[in-house]
């Protein structure tokens, strides 16, 4: 990301700041693709029952992924780039405090997580229309029922799930893939956007790496490692993947 080509812009529905291209069209935002190994996830379908249908719980229902490079230098290089993006948000006029990303570690190595809520408070997006949930997300209408009149699903809540396929001529194309097909150990590309939401006090913000898309690149290593785990059940996921390589 060449940050000089982008700007942090205030939005009103919902209230937030986003990283967008200079002279961006309406609705345009900067997205970044992170390739890695899926090491943790909370993905649809949502079957229910929910732990609670109280608004304070429904508000935080989300789609979440965490990716690792298992110590690779290329993946580790994302850390400085994300720090630069944080600095750009933190230095925006009107910002007094900005909470940074907190991805934690996976087996002692740097990792990156992204998430997107399933629903948005209707009061913040009164001009938006609800987008119905497809069966692969909400097969039992659990989310649809839980949203009641207080929440709606907008474009910010939609995550595109797909699989990258190589054609016989060597080109690539993408096909939709149900989110249930993604498993820990898959090699994926996670696409995210940068959004800062207001905090409790004036000028306070929380920076979020919002999940916009998840693409399956390869499940072969995960499938073979499952076989190895049946043979050598004491091997952890990282060791099995390195052994395959």
DSSP 93-108: TT-SEEEPP---EETT
Classify residue 186 by its DSSP letter: -
Would you state the pLDDT for residue 235? 47
Q: Give residues with Cβ within 8 angstroms of 108, minimum separation 6.
A: none
Per-residue pLDDT, 219? 81
Q: Return the C-alpha torsion angle 96, 101, 102, 108, nearest 10.
A: -140
Q: Say what the pLDDT of residue 221 is.
A: 63
Per-residue pLDDT of the chain (245 residues; tens, 9 = 90+): 678 889 999 999 999 999 999 887 777 899 999 999 999 999 999 999 999 999 999 999 999 999 999 888 889 889 999 999 999 999 999 999 999 998 989 999 999 999 999 999 999 999 999 999 999 999 999 999 999 999 999 999 999 999 999 899 989 999 999 999 999 999 999 999 999 999 999 999 999 999 999 999 998 766 545 444 444 444 444 444 443 33
**Residues 6+ away with beta carbon under 8 Å from 157:** 116, 117, 118, 119, 120, 131
Q: Where are the beta strands (DSSP E) in the chain?
A: 6-12, 15-21, 31-42, 62-68, 97-99, 105-106, 109-117, 120-121, 151-152, 160-166, 172-176, 187-198, 204-218
Going from the N-terminus, what domains does the chain have, and what CATH number goes with each?
3-219 (2.40.50)
The span from the CA of 13 to the CA of 112, in Å, is: 27
| Number of C-beta neighbours around residue 18 at 10 A | 21
What is the token pair recorded at 12? Answer: 């009103």
pLDDT for 172 equals: 93
Q: With 0.85 as the threshold, say if the pTM is over it.
A: yes
**pLDDT of 28:** 85
What's the DSSP call for residue 160?
Answer: E
The continuous run of DSSP H or E covering 180 comes out as none
pLDDT score, position 68: 94
233 vs 229: CA distance, rounded Å? 4
Beta-strand relationship, 105-106 and 109-117:
antiparallel
Contacts of 50 (CB under 8 A, 6+ apart): 57, 58, 61, 142, 146
Whole-number pLDDT of residue 242: 44
Instruction: Give the model's pLDDT for residue 201.
Output: 94
User: Tokens 């949203």 — which residue?
Assistant: 147
């Amino acid at each position: 990301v060449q940050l000089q080509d982008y700007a942090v812009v205030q939005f009103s529905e919902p209230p937030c700041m986003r990283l967008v291209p200079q002279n961006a069209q309406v609705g345009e935002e900067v997205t970044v693709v992170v390739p890695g190994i899926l090491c943790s996830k909370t993905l649809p379908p949502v079957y229910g029952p929910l732990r609670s249908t109280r608004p304070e719980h429904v508000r935080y229902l989300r789609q979440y992924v965490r990716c690792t490079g298992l110590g690779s230098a290329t993946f580790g290089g994302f850390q400085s780039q994300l720090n630069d993006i944080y600095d750009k948000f933190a230095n925006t006029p009107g910002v007094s405090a900005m909470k940074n990303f907190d991805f934690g570690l996976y087996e002692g190595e740097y990792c990156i997580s992204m998430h997107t809520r399933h629903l948005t408070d209707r009061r913040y997006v009164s001009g938006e229309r609800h987008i119905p949930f497809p069966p692969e997300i909400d097969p039992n209408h659990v989310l649809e029922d839980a949203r009641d009149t207080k929440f709606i699903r907008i474009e910010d809540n939609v995550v595109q799930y797909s699989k990258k396929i190589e054609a016989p001529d060597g080109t690539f194309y993408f096909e939709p893939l149900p989110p249930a097909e993604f498993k820990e150990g898959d090699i994926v590309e996670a696409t995210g956007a940068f959004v800062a939401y207001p905090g409790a006090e004036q000028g306070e913000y929380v920076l979020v790496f919002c999940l916009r898309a998840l693409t399956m690149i390869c499940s072969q290593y995960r499938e073979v490692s499952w076989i190895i785990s049946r043979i050598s059940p004491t091997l952890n996921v990282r060791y099995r993947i390195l052994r395959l390589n």
